[in-house]
Amino acid sequence: MRVVAAENFWGSIARQIGGAHAYVTSIIVNPALDPHSYEPTSADARALAVAQLAIVNGVGYDPWAPRLLAADPLPGRLTLNVGSLFGLREGDNPHRWYDPAEVIGVATRIASDLERLDPRWRRYFAARLGAFVHRGLAAYTNEIATIRARYGGVPVGASESIFALQAPALGLRLMTPPSFMDAISEGTEVTAQDVVTVEHQITARLIRVWIYNSQNVTPEIERLNGLARAAGIPIVRVTETLSPASDSFQQWQVAQLRALAAALHGATGR
């Protein structure tokens, strides 16, 4: 079955569940790009045109993907829109792959959609889903539980809303104003009051760790990264897509979580 994911974080999960019975390709794979401003190519349009299962993030993150799918309808095609799956709408936080519970929800839906496309392999897809959730994600869920148990309540800051969905699962206290994170994520103007607040949180060391998205570094974020370094606050880099692109979803996330745990340890001594 031909499966096309707009982004490789969902594509990686689809590949692990589809196994030998799904040919999965992803469109956005370059960790040096900002996916928010991605411009699709004619090759992307051709790939989506023949997709039997298309996976798009939705929530305004990849508006080009539904447009391309609508331009080339394919009888029997299934489209998994992650935002729609969770009842979200444009304006909500689009970074759903940073919510551990929703990761499992999407994986479950992918297995269900693959079964609908080819019911003969129902047991195969169910077994692959079980292996992904219970073995593939084991280190991922263990890292989350460890950070929550050891560093719950530690105040941290983040450059944008990409971290806002993971922070609650980790038990961390995200201090950065949501309006600041949303503005950086969406490329809109940051208010002067929010800038002053974030600067004060860093220079007064009200946060213990600073997390920034290296795929969306504005001059303002570069300046704040410099303030964090000057204040001796550990900085953790996260990305929107797999980095390196050859990693699986869980390899990528575990590496980031371990870097975060090391920074929290350095900041707190725990």
In tens, the pLDDT along 60-69 reads: 999 999 999 9
Binning pLDDT at 50, 70 and 90, where does residue 34 land? Answer: confident
* Overall size of the chain counted in residues: 270
For the cut 90, the answer to whether the pLDDT of residue 37 exceeds it is: no
Residues 6+ apart with CB under 8 A from 112: none
**Which are the contacts of 3, defined by CB distance < 8 A and separation ≥ 6?**
11, 14, 15, 18, 22, 23, 24, 25, 51, 52, 53, 54, 55, 114
Contacts of residue 59, Cβ cutoff 8 Å, sequence gap at least 6: 82, 83, 88, 89, 90, 92, 93, 94, 96
Q: Which fold has domain 2-136?
A: Rossmann fold (3.40.50)
Predicted pLDDT of residue 31: 84
Is the confidence at residue 33, as pLDDT, over 90?
Answer: no
The answer on pLDDT for 32 being more than 90 is no
pLDDT the model gives residue 35? 84
Question: What letters, b where the CB count within 10 A reaches 16 and e where it falls short, cover 71-80?
Answer: eeeeeebbbb
Are 240 and 252 in contact by the 8 Å Cβ rule? The answer is: no
User: Model's pTM, two decimal places?
Assistant: 0.96
Average pLDDT of the residues in 252-259: 98
Q: Where in the chain is the domain with CATH 3.40.50.1980?
A: 2-136, 150-268
pLDDT in tens, 212-249: 999 999 999 999 999 999 999 999 999 999 999 999 99
For residues 164-173, give the mean pLDDT: 97
How many other CB atoms sit within 10 Å of the CB of residue 251?
16
pLDDT digits (tens, 9 = 90+) for 123-155: 999 999 999 999 999 999 999 999 999 999 999
Q: Nearest to residue 13, comparing CAs of 141, 109, 138?
A: 109
Provide the terminal-to-terminal Cα distance of the chain, rounded to the nearest Å: 48
pLDDT at 12: 98
Q: What band does 203 get if pLDDT is binned at 50, 70 and 90?
A: very high
Instruction: Estimate to the nearest angstrom the gap between the alpha carbon of 225 and the chain centroid.
Output: 21
Whether 36 shows a pLDDT value over 90: the answer reads no
Just give the CATH number of 150-268.
3.40.50.1980
pLDDT of 104 higher than 90: yes
Q: Are 3 and 53 in contact (CB under 8 A)?
A: yes
Asked whether the beta carbons of 46 and 59 are under 8 A apart, the reply is: no
